[in-house]
Amino acid sequence: MIPTDIDGAGRDILARAQALARHSDSPDHYTRTWLTPAHRAAAAQIAAWMREAGMDVRTDGAGSVIGRYEGESPGAKALVTGSHYDSVRNGGKYDGILGILVPIACVADLHRRGERLPHAIEVVAFADEEGARFQTSFLASRALLGKFDAALLGRRDAAGVRFDEAMREAGLDPAAIAANPADPARLAAYVEVHIEQGPVLLGEGLPLGVVTAIAGGTRHLVTVTGAAGHAGTVPMAMRHDALAAAAEMVAAVESRAKSQAGLVGTVGLLEVKDGTGNVIPGEVSFTVDIRSGEDALREAAERDVFAAFDAIAARRGVAVSARRNHAVRATPCSPRLQDLLAESVAAAGAPVRRLPSGAGHDAMVMAEATEVCMLFIRCGAGGVSHNPAETVTEADAGLAAAAVGEFFRRFRQAA
């Protein structure tokens, strides 16, 4: 049943994204960070749209805006959906926002028809996911589940404003940030709509994607120690050049990650200690970031990469050591909900493509409380995101609304 005016819905969603992007911390570009005046204005606008769509609206202790569209019987368990309304600095105006505006459009459609579902729908506009102001991650979804880290209260932003002061200034009580957590027993499931933030759907000419898992990842800091020496006097055969060894290691990361689908590996930072043009590098450190939607795949790749590092180091007579400073396991999306989402996408008239998410999303946190799934919308402009060039089409946004409307109606709680 796709009675929604798909084109009209897509047009409205994009117009609202444009309107919301005007609430920016900077007049020069789109940046909206936690609890700034622009952020609070965006929250008020989202709350108004939720009310207009027939929802009861509340704000939680972290500033997230939660709209509830009641089910057939009052107090029914909620199918929760949402995403974030903060942004990175100089970001794209659809990242996060589509996951708020698409479900609001779907609820508005239900409301117009006077249609109620067996479950309530709750749309959550998470106040902070990117964490650009206080260098946090998933602040709002964690707070929603009562998992706030109180050590953050003393943290300061770039202007020196303390976290708890920023809260008070915005009319929030720092002591109550996670005081009324969502009760997992009242959540039926969580579904998040998000722009893909990558080029896969665009490359294949597909508007929508059903996410299979959110990638897990590890980051290591690797140090290679060789022997520094005079660039003119030490013969090539007698060198233990730490940078030449590191270069081979960087290439090993790339070739292992390329050898298998579903795996990505990146060296994003490389530093030559006391580096200068006429000295053989004695010490080099670099980062290794490896991610996959499947933990076993990632773990095998990590083992191979570090075995390659050891072999390179042994052959070149340098030492290599590594310290892991970040590790997150993959979050699988519920197979049952993936199937339901796939049926909904097909019913909306779009081909079904399943793909993993390489980026983290609030759904990772929500998965600690309930079963989750995600719908990706094709990202235009070469798949660029976290950038002002990020785009989406009216047609794709409308299709997403049709698919999500279907999903809302087809959804049943797990037995």
Distance CA 219, CA 92 (A): 26
Q: Examine residue 198 and tell whether it contacts Zn ion (CB under 5 A).
A: no
Nearest Cα residue to 325 out of 290, 295, 364: 290
Sketch the per residue contact string, 203 through 232, with Zn ion: x for CB under 5 A, - otherwise.
------------------------------
Q: What letter represents residue 228's amino acid?
A: A
* Residue 229 vs 358, nearer CB to Zn ion: 358
Question: How many C-alpha atoms does 331 have within 13 Å on its Cβ side?
Answer: 21
- For residue 296, the Cα-to-chain-centroid distance in whole angstroms is 22
Total Cβ atoms within 10 A of residue 51: 12
CB of 52 to Zn ion, least distance (A): 24
CB of 194 to Zn ion, least distance (A): 6
CB of 398 to Zn ion, least distance (A): 21
CB of 126 to Zn ion, least distance (A): 9
Residue in this structure with the two tokens 């530093």, named with its chain if needed:
271
Residue 310 host element (H or E): helix 295-316
CB of 131 to Zn ion, least distance (A): 11
* Residue 95 vs 241, nearer CB to Zn ion: 95
Beta strands in 196-251 (DSSP E): 208-214, 216-225, 229-230
* Residue 63 vs 96, nearer CB to Zn ion: 96
CB of 97 to Zn ion, least distance (A): 9
Q: What angle do CA 352, 357, 359 make, to 5 degrees?
A: 150
Q: What is the largest CA-CA distance in the chain?
A: 84
Positive or negative: CA dihedral 334, 338, 344, 345:
positive
* Residue 89 vs 410, nearer CB to Zn ion: 89
Q: Which residues, numbered 69-108, are part of the site for Zn ion (CB under 5 A)?
A: 95-96
CB of 122 to Zn ion, least distance (A): 19
CB of 24 to Zn ion, least distance (A): 16
CB of 237 to Zn ion, least distance (A): 52
* Residue 98 vs 245, nearer CB to Zn ion: 98
Helix (H, G, I), strand (E, B) or coil at 166: helix
Nearest Cα residue to 369 out of 200, 122, 170: 122
Nearest Cα residue to 161 out of 283, 313, 37, 2: 37
Distance CA 346, CA 263 (A): 28
Residue in this structure with the two tokens 């490359």, named with its chain if needed:
203
Size of the site for Zn ion (CB under 5 A): 2
* Residue 128 vs 241, nearer CB to Zn ion: 128
* Residue 95 vs 302, nearer CB to Zn ion: 95
CB of 95 to Zn ion, least distance (A): 4
Helix (H, G, I), strand (E, B) or coil at 59: strand
* Residue 95 vs 396, nearer CB to Zn ion: 95
Which residues have CB under 8 Å from 48's CB, separation 6+? none
- For residue 11, the Cα-to-chain-centroid distance in whole angstroms is 25
Q: H helices then E strands: how many in the chain? A: 11, 16
Which residues have CB under 8 Å from 307's CB, separation 6+? none
* Residue 193 vs 249, nearer CB to Zn ion: 193
Distance CA 150, CA 172 (A): 15
* Residue 95 vs 283, nearer CB to Zn ion: 95
CB of 73 to Zn ion, least distance (A): 34
* Residue 70 vs 95, nearer CB to Zn ion: 95
Q: Which residues, numbered 270-329, are part of the site for Zn ion (CB under 5 A)?
A: none
Binding site for Zn ion (CB under 5 A): 95-96
